[in-house]
Amino acid sequence: MAGQPGSVNPKTASDLELPTPGPLKATIGRAVMEGATDIHIDAWEDKAALRFRVDGLVHHKETLTYAQTKKIINQIKVSADLDIEATLTPLEGQFRYAREDDVRDIRVSIIPTAPRHQSVHLRLLSSAKDWIHAEELGFRDSDREHIDHVLQSPHGLILISGPTGSGKTTTLHALTETQDLKNQVAASIEDPAEFEMPFVRQLEVNEKRGITMSEGLRTLLRMDADMLLIGEIRDRESASIAAQAALAGRLVLATVHGRDVAGAIEAIHYLDVPYYILGGALRMVISQNLVRRLCENCRKERPLHGFEAELFDSEKVTSPDSVYDASGCATCSKYGYRGRTGVFEVAILDDELGLWLADGPRQQEIRQRFLDEGVRSLRVHALEKVAEGTTSIQEVYRFFGAGVGRKPIDDSLVDPLEGVMQTNPDVQ
C-alpha cells in the first residue's frame, strides 16, 4: 500500500535532483529498487550501519566506513540545503530524487548522537506509480459494499484507525478518491499534508503561523465544505469539532490511533466526546493494519500443521489444506515478501447501534457487540489472507501472536530470512 506522491512545498526538481553519481544517489537507487520506505544511517566509533525499512521491517544492508559515512551525510545536507558544519543540533529538510520516470520527495531528519556522531533518517515518499486505489487496498468484497453504501451518505463521521504506519492515510485518500469531488467542496486538514489530492482544499497545520488543527478545522467549515478530511484526531477540541460537523450535515473522514474498532471509539470518547454525541455522529469505523505479501515468484507451499489448523478453527476460519512460506529470490531482493496488503475490521453503525452506543457501554462490551453483529476481526482477516496464499502464517504470529493456550511458534517456522534486525511494533 502506498499513497499518492507529492509532498507539500517541495523545492524545485532542478535544484534538488542528484545529477552526478555518488554514494547518496546509489543508496537511494538501491532503496527504491528494493521497495524501501525509509533509510537509516547510525554511526558508532569509526563506522556506521546502513539499514532499509522494507514492508515494515528494518534490514541491515551494510556497514559503512567513517569516510563513507561522512561523505554520504555531507551529500544529504547539500541536497537538502542544510548547513554542513552543523553537527550539534537537529536538522530537518527535504530534497527530490529523480530517476527515469520515478520521482521521489525525500524528507530528511538528522540528529546528533553521543559521543560525537550523527544519525540520519530519510523518508522516501511514494511516487505516482505507487498510487493505490480503493479496490486495491485489500478489503473483502462484502466490506467494500458496506463502505460504498456508507460513503453515499451526505453526512456522518467515519473513523479509520490503526497504529502508526498502518496505512490509515492511504485508506483515507483512496476512499476520498471514490467520491464525486468535482461536484462537491472537499477540504482536508493534515499535519503535514504529505500527498496532493485533486479537487481537495488541503490545509497544513502550522502552529508557528497560528494554524492549529482545531483552528484549521473551524476555518475549513466556514468555507462551505461538504466533505471534511482530518489527517489525525489527537486533541479534544478537534475531536469535538469533527463530531459536531458530522451532526451538522457534513461527511467527515478522520484517522485516529486505536488497535481495533472498539479501541477507536474509546479513543474518541477519551477525548471528551460524549457517547450520546458519538451515537448520533458515527456511521462507520474501519480498523486496519498491514501484512506483507508473499513473493509469488518464490513462495513455497507446505501442508498445514495440526496446531495451525487449531488456530483457524478457533477463529471459525475454514482451514486450508496447505499454506505458503516465504523463501527469497531476485524478484523480491531475497526478502521472500514483496509489498504489503491491508487487513481490516469494518463496523457499520445503524440507528439501533447508534442508540445503544449513546448509553455509554464499556470498551469490552462494544467489542463483543460488534462480534455478535458479525464484524470480523483483524486476526480473522489475516488468517483468511493466509488461506488464500496472500501472506504467511508467520505474519499472523508477528502481529497477533500464537494465541493464549496454543502451541508456541516452532523455531523452524520463524522467518528464515537473514538480515532482519528489528520488527517495528507499529509497522511503520
- Concatenating the DSSP letter of every residue in 257-306 gives --SSHHHHHHHHHHTT--HHHHHHHEEEEEEEEEEEEEPTTT-EEEEPPH
- Torsion, CA 403, CA 408, CA 412, CA 416, rounded to 10: 50
User: What's at 15, amino acid-wise?
Assistant: D
Q: CA 68, CA 278: separation in Å to the nearest integer?
A: 55
Mean pLDDT computed over 269-275: 95
Residue 8 has a pLDDT of: 38
pLDDT tens-digit series, residues 325-347: 999 999 999 999 999 999 999 99
Helices (H) and strands (E) in the chain, counts: 14, 16
Which backbone phi and psi does 323 adopt, to 5 degrees?
Answer: -130, 175
What pLDDT is stored for residue 102 in this prediction?
77
Q: pLDDT digit string (tens) for 106-124?
A: 999 999 998 889 999 999 9
What is the C-alpha separation between 120 and 328, in angstroms, rounded?
Answer: 29
Cell of 427: 509497522
Nearest to 99 by CA among 31, 17, 177: 17
- Are the CB atoms for 376 and 139 separated by under 8 Å? no
The confidence band for 36, taking pLDDT boundaries of 50, 70 and 90, is very high
Q: What is the pLDDT of residues 122-136, one digit of tens each?
A: 999 876 556 688 889
- pLDDT at residue 7 tops 80: no
Contacts of 5 (CB under 8 A, 6+ apart): 103, 104, 105, 125, 126, 127, 128, 130, 131, 195, 196
For residue 132, what pLDDT is reported? 80
CB 53 within 8 A of CB 122: no
Predicted pLDDT of residue 402: 61
Q: Please tell me the predicted confidence (pLDDT) of residue 423.
A: 36
* The predicted structure's pLDDT at residue 103: 82
Burial of 20 (0-12, 13-18, 19+ CB in 10 A): exposed
Cell 504470529 sits on residue: 397
**Would you say 49 and 68 are in contact if contact means Cβ atoms under 8 Å apart?**
no
State the fold for domain 132-423.
Rossmann fold (3.40.50)
Residue 21 has pLDDT above 90, yes or no: no
User: 202 forms bridges with which residues in the sheet?
Assistant: 188
Average pLDDT of the segment spanning 59-67: 95
Residue 91, C-alpha cell as written in the block: 536538522
Q: Is the pLDDT of residue 253 over 90?
A: yes
Residue range 20-128, CATH number: 3.30.450.90
- Bridge partners (DSSP) of residue 292 are 340
Backbone angles phi, psi at 34, to 5 degrees: -85, 0
Residue range 163-202, pLDDT digits in tens: 988 999 899 999 998 998 999 999 999 887 777 788 999 9
C-alpha cell at 335: 526478502
- Please write the tens of the pLDDT for every residue from 301-332: 999 999 999 999 999 999 999 999 999 999 99
Helix axis angle, 66-79 relative to 23-33, nearest 10°?
80
What local confidence, expressed as pLDDT, does residue 1 receive?
55
Instruction: Note whether 52 and 61 are within 8 A (CB).
Output: yes
pLDDT, one tens digit per residue, over 376-416 is: 999 999 999 999 999 999 999 998 876 533 444 343 333 33
Cβ(409)–Cβ(397) under 8 Å? yes
Rounded Cα distance, 90 and 118, in Å: 9
Q: Which of 105, 108, 111, 142 is closest to 125 using CA atoms?
A: 105
The domains of the chain are located at 20-128, 132-423
